[in-house]
């Protein structure tokens, strides 16, 4: 399968939004399941594309997955500091998993981060249960940064996102 990584096209926003939402739902990554307010953010690719670079993985003109790349200082930054870029909302359609789609998306973010002047690291947040993603990140050279782990919903004590970084 020839995977092409490129900026998502506006006519693909809905498809990528649904892939992202379904990946999080089907993998049990949302604390409030189908009523989780974060689902709206996951589906809103147009909003992300207006504030960051949203990449789509495609094969034969079919969207297989996507990721949001946020250069240093971008409005969608969660944890990136000056001199860092951030990768967010990596998702691959269930039917396309195991084919290298996720790896291709991560590698594209690494390439983009290396092309940003003054960028020395690519960082990301991940959930504790995303073991397959953790293995991928570690295989590609990312290392855990537990001192940067954080809670996006402080009112809920049991949500801690793990962080990783790759020195470029």
Domain of residue 121 covers 4-167
Measured in degrees and rounded to the nearest 5, phi and psi for residue 63 equal -75, 125
Is the confidence at residue 29, as pLDDT, over 90? no
Query: Of 28-42, 44-58, 128-142, which range is least confident?
Result: 28-42
pLDDT digits (tens, 9 = 90+) for 59-77: 999 999 999 999 988 899 9
Q: Who's near 79: CB < 8 A, 6+ residues apart?
A: 86, 123, 124, 125, 148, 150, 163
pTM, entire model: 0.93
Beta-sheet pairing, 121-126 with 84-92: parallel
- By the 10 Å C-beta count (0-12 exposed, 13-18 middle, 19+ buried), 168 is classed as middle
Confidence at residue 96, expressed as pLDDT on a 0 to 100 scale: 96
Count of domains for the chain: 1
Helix or strand run (H / E) with residue 48? helix 45-51
- What's CA 146's distance to the chain center, in Å? 19
Instruction: Output the domain CATH number for residue 33.
Output: 3.40.630.30
């Amino acid at each position: 399968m020839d995977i092409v990584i490129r900026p998502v096209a506006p006519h693909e926003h809905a498809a990528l939004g649904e892939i992202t939402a379904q990946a999080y739902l089907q993998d049990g990554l949302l604390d409030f399941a189908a009523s989780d307010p974060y689902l709206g953010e996951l589906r809103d690719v147009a909003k992300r594309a207006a504030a960051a670079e949203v990449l789509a993985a495609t094969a034969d003109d079919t969207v297989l997955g996507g990721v949001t790349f946020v250069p240093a200082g971008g409005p969608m930054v969660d944890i990136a500091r000056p001199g860092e870029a951030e990768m967010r909302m990596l998702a691959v359609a269930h039917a396309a998993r195991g084919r290298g789609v996720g790896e291709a998306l991560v590698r594209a973010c690494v390439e983009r981060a290396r092309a940003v002047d003054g960028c020395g690291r690519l960082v990301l947040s991940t959930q504790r249960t995303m073991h397959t993603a953790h293995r991928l990140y570690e295989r590609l050279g990312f290392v855990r940064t537990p001192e940067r782990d954080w809670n996006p919903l402080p009112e809920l004590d049991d949500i801690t996102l793990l962080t990783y970084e790759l020195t470029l």
